[in-house]
Amino acid sequence: MVRKALLGIIAIGVIILLFKYCGFKDDSGTTVIEESALIREQIRNVGKLVVTEGHFSEVLTYKNTKKGFLNLFDAEKKAIVIVNAEVTVGYDLSQVKYDVDEASKTITILNIPKEEIKINPELKYYDIEQNGFNEFGGEDYNKINKQVKESLAKKIEKSSLKTNAQNRLISELGKILILTNTMGWTLKYKGQQMDNQKLNDGIFSD
Protein backbone atom coordinates (compact mmCIF):
# COMPACT_ATOMS: atom_id res chain seq x y z
CA MET A 1 0.00 0.00 0.00
CA VAL A 2 2.85 2.38 0.96
CA ARG A 3 4.76 1.40 -2.17
CA LYS A 4 1.75 2.20 -4.37
CA ALA A 5 1.33 5.59 -2.68
CA LEU A 6 5.01 6.42 -3.21
CA LEU A 7 4.81 5.38 -6.85
CA GLY A 8 1.74 7.59 -7.25
CA ILE A 9 3.54 10.60 -5.77
CA ILE A 10 6.60 9.98 -7.97
CA ALA A 11 4.38 9.71 -11.05
CA ILE A 12 2.72 13.03 -10.20
CA GLY A 13 6.15 14.63 -9.75
CA VAL A 14 7.36 13.35 -13.13
CA ILE A 15 4.23 14.68 -14.86
CA ILE A 16 4.70 18.09 -13.26
CA LEU A 17 8.39 18.26 -14.26
CA LEU A 18 7.56 17.30 -17.83
CA PHE A 19 4.80 19.87 -17.83
CA LYS A 20 7.07 22.64 -16.57
CA TYR A 21 9.87 22.01 -19.02
CA CYS A 22 8.09 21.08 -22.23
CA GLY A 23 7.20 24.47 -23.65
CA PHE A 24 4.24 25.67 -21.59
CA LYS A 25 6.06 28.67 -20.05
CA ASP A 26 5.76 31.29 -22.76
CA ASP A 27 2.08 32.13 -22.40
CA SER A 28 0.80 32.39 -18.79
CA GLY A 29 -2.81 31.99 -19.91
CA THR A 30 -2.01 28.77 -21.73
CA THR A 31 -0.08 27.53 -18.71
CA VAL A 32 -3.10 27.98 -16.41
CA ILE A 33 -5.33 26.15 -18.88
CA GLU A 34 -2.88 23.27 -19.15
CA GLU A 35 -2.54 23.13 -15.36
CA SER A 36 -6.32 23.04 -15.09
CA ALA A 37 -6.48 20.16 -17.58
CA LEU A 38 -3.83 18.25 -15.64
CA ILE A 39 -5.71 18.68 -12.36
CA ARG A 40 -9.00 17.62 -13.96
CA GLU A 41 -7.26 14.51 -15.28
CA GLN A 42 -5.95 13.70 -11.79
CA ILE A 43 -9.45 14.06 -10.33
CA ARG A 44 -10.74 11.69 -13.02
CA ASN A 45 -7.97 9.23 -12.11
CA VAL A 46 -9.11 9.08 -8.48
CA GLY A 47 -12.74 8.93 -9.57
CA LYS A 48 -13.18 5.26 -8.85
CA LEU A 49 -14.91 3.04 -6.33
CA VAL A 50 -12.82 2.74 -3.16
CA VAL A 51 -13.94 -0.32 -1.21
CA THR A 52 -12.85 -1.74 2.13
CA GLU A 53 -13.98 -5.28 2.97
CA GLY A 54 -14.56 -7.01 6.28
CA HIS A 55 -15.88 -10.31 7.65
CA PHE A 56 -18.12 -10.72 10.68
CA SER A 57 -19.40 -13.82 12.46
CA GLU A 58 -21.85 -14.29 15.29
CA VAL A 59 -24.30 -16.74 16.86
CA LEU A 60 -27.91 -15.75 17.51
CA THR A 61 -30.69 -17.57 19.31
CA TYR A 62 -34.20 -16.98 18.03
CA LYS A 63 -37.23 -17.79 20.16
CA ASN A 64 -40.94 -17.28 19.73
CA THR A 65 -43.77 -18.37 22.02
CA LYS A 66 -47.51 -18.30 21.56
CA LYS A 67 -50.46 -19.91 23.28
CA GLY A 68 -51.41 -23.40 22.12
CA PHE A 69 -54.79 -25.13 21.94
CA LEU A 70 -57.42 -22.97 23.74
CA ASN A 71 -54.58 -21.14 25.50
CA LEU A 72 -53.97 -24.26 27.58
CA PHE A 73 -50.19 -24.30 27.05
CA ASP A 74 -47.31 -22.34 25.56
CA ALA A 75 -46.12 -23.44 22.14
CA GLU A 76 -42.48 -22.46 21.65
CA LYS A 77 -40.25 -22.53 18.63
CA LYS A 78 -36.57 -21.71 18.60
CA ALA A 79 -33.40 -22.05 16.59
CA ILE A 80 -29.70 -21.28 16.79
CA VAL A 81 -28.53 -19.16 13.87
CA ILE A 82 -24.88 -19.07 12.76
CA VAL A 83 -24.14 -15.88 10.83
CA ASN A 84 -21.17 -15.28 8.51
CA ALA A 85 -21.29 -11.95 6.73
CA GLU A 86 -19.19 -10.19 4.14
CA VAL A 87 -19.39 -6.42 4.58
CA THR A 88 -18.08 -3.70 2.29
CA VAL A 89 -17.76 0.02 2.94
CA GLY A 90 -17.18 2.02 -0.22
CA TYR A 91 -16.97 5.52 -1.66
CA ASP A 92 -17.90 6.11 -5.28
CA LEU A 93 -15.43 8.88 -6.08
CA SER A 94 -16.84 9.28 -9.57
CA GLN A 95 -19.62 11.17 -7.75
CA VAL A 96 -17.23 13.84 -6.40
CA LYS A 97 -18.42 17.28 -7.52
CA TYR A 98 -15.93 20.12 -7.91
CA ASP A 99 -15.45 23.58 -9.42
CA VAL A 100 -12.34 24.87 -11.20
CA ASP A 101 -11.60 28.61 -11.05
CA GLU A 102 -8.72 29.24 -13.43
CA ALA A 103 -8.61 32.97 -12.62
CA SER A 104 -7.77 32.39 -8.96
CA LYS A 105 -6.16 28.97 -9.56
CA THR A 106 -8.54 27.36 -7.09
CA ILE A 107 -10.14 23.92 -7.04
CA THR A 108 -13.22 23.74 -4.82
CA ILE A 109 -14.58 20.32 -3.91
CA LEU A 110 -18.33 20.79 -3.64
CA ASN A 111 -19.43 17.34 -2.54
CA ILE A 112 -17.95 14.08 -1.23
CA PRO A 113 -20.29 11.08 -1.57
CA LYS A 114 -21.42 9.39 1.62
CA GLU A 115 -20.07 5.92 2.24
CA GLU A 116 -22.09 2.97 0.97
CA ILE A 117 -22.35 0.02 3.37
CA LYS A 118 -23.35 -3.36 1.95
CA ILE A 119 -24.05 -6.36 4.19
CA ASN A 120 -24.27 -9.84 2.68
CA PRO A 121 -25.04 -12.34 5.45
CA GLU A 122 -25.06 -16.12 5.10
CA LEU A 123 -27.32 -17.78 7.68
CA LYS A 124 -27.28 -21.41 8.83
CA TYR A 125 -29.92 -22.79 11.17
CA TYR A 126 -29.26 -25.41 13.85
CA ASP A 127 -31.24 -27.07 16.66
CA ILE A 128 -34.59 -26.02 15.22
CA GLU A 129 -37.44 -26.81 17.59
CA GLN A 130 -41.09 -26.32 16.71
CA ASN A 131 -44.45 -28.03 16.97
CA GLY A 132 -47.73 -28.10 15.09
CA PHE A 133 -49.14 -25.18 17.07
CA ASN A 134 -46.18 -22.88 16.38
CA GLU A 135 -44.12 -23.64 13.28
CA PHE A 136 -41.46 -21.60 11.49
CA GLY A 137 -42.73 -19.47 8.64
CA GLY A 138 -41.79 -16.56 6.41
CA GLU A 139 -42.47 -13.99 9.12
CA ASP A 140 -39.96 -15.68 11.43
CA TYR A 141 -37.23 -15.66 8.80
CA ASN A 142 -37.90 -11.98 8.06
CA LYS A 143 -37.57 -11.18 11.78
CA ILE A 144 -34.33 -13.14 11.96
CA ASN A 145 -32.89 -11.33 8.92
CA LYS A 146 -33.81 -7.97 10.42
CA GLN A 147 -32.27 -8.93 13.77
CA VAL A 148 -29.08 -10.09 12.04
CA LYS A 149 -28.65 -6.88 10.04
CA GLU A 150 -29.31 -4.69 13.08
CA SER A 151 -26.73 -6.63 15.07
CA LEU A 152 -24.16 -6.47 12.26
CA ALA A 153 -24.73 -2.73 11.81
CA LYS A 154 -23.82 -2.19 15.47
CA LYS A 155 -20.69 -4.31 15.07
CA ILE A 156 -19.64 -2.35 12.00
CA GLU A 157 -19.97 0.94 13.90
CA LYS A 158 -17.71 -0.40 16.67
CA SER A 159 -15.16 -1.88 14.27
CA SER A 160 -12.35 -0.17 12.35
CA LEU A 161 -13.95 -0.90 8.97
CA LYS A 162 -15.42 2.58 8.42
CA THR A 163 -12.24 4.24 9.67
CA ASN A 164 -10.15 2.15 7.26
CA ALA A 165 -12.46 3.12 4.40
CA GLN A 166 -12.16 6.81 5.35
CA ASN A 167 -8.36 6.49 5.41
CA ARG A 168 -8.44 5.13 1.87
CA LEU A 169 -10.71 8.01 0.86
CA ILE A 170 -8.25 10.51 2.34
CA SER A 171 -5.35 8.78 0.60
CA GLU A 172 -7.02 9.13 -2.80
CA LEU A 173 -8.06 12.76 -2.28
CA GLY A 174 -4.60 13.52 -0.93
CA LYS A 175 -3.24 12.94 -4.44
CA ILE A 176 -5.26 15.94 -5.61
CA LEU A 177 -3.88 18.03 -2.73
CA ILE A 178 -0.29 17.09 -3.62
CA LEU A 179 -0.79 18.07 -7.24
CA THR A 180 -2.54 21.38 -6.56
CA ASN A 181 0.04 22.43 -3.94
CA THR A 182 2.96 21.56 -6.21
CA MET A 183 1.52 23.60 -9.07
CA GLY A 184 0.70 26.60 -6.89
CA TRP A 185 -3.06 26.03 -6.93
CA THR A 186 -5.37 26.10 -3.89
CA LEU A 187 -7.68 23.25 -2.90
CA LYS A 188 -10.78 24.20 -0.89
CA TYR A 189 -13.54 22.24 0.80
CA LYS A 190 -16.35 23.57 3.01
CA GLY A 191 -14.97 27.08 2.63
CA GLN A 192 -11.56 26.12 4.00
CA GLN A 193 -8.22 25.96 2.25
CA MET A 194 -7.00 22.39 2.49
CA ASP A 195 -3.59 21.34 3.77
CA ASN A 196 -2.12 18.10 5.08
CA GLN A 197 -3.24 18.83 8.64
CA LYS A 198 -6.89 19.39 7.71
CA LEU A 199 -6.75 16.34 5.45
CA ASN A 200 -5.45 14.14 8.27
CA ASP A 201 -8.02 15.61 10.66
CA GLY A 202 -10.66 13.95 8.47
CA ILE A 203 -12.50 16.98 7.12
CA PHE A 204 -13.23 15.09 3.88
CA SER A 205 -15.00 12.31 5.75
CA ASP A 206 -17.27 14.42 7.98
Provide the domain count of the chain: 1
Contact 104, 197 (CB under 8 A): no
Full pLDDT tens readout for the chain, 206 residues: 444 544 454 455 545 444 444 444 445 556 777 888 888 888 887 777 778 999 999 999 998 887 665 566 677 888 999 999 999 999 888 888 889 888 898 989 898 888 899 999 999 999 888 877 778 888 888 989 999 999 999 999 999 999 898 888 888 888 888 888 888 888 888 888 888 777 777 666 55
Closest CA to 57 of 123, 117, 118: 123
Residue range of the domain that includes 94 = 2-205
What is each CA distance from 115 to 92, 93, 131, 177, in whole angstroms?
8, 10, 44, 21
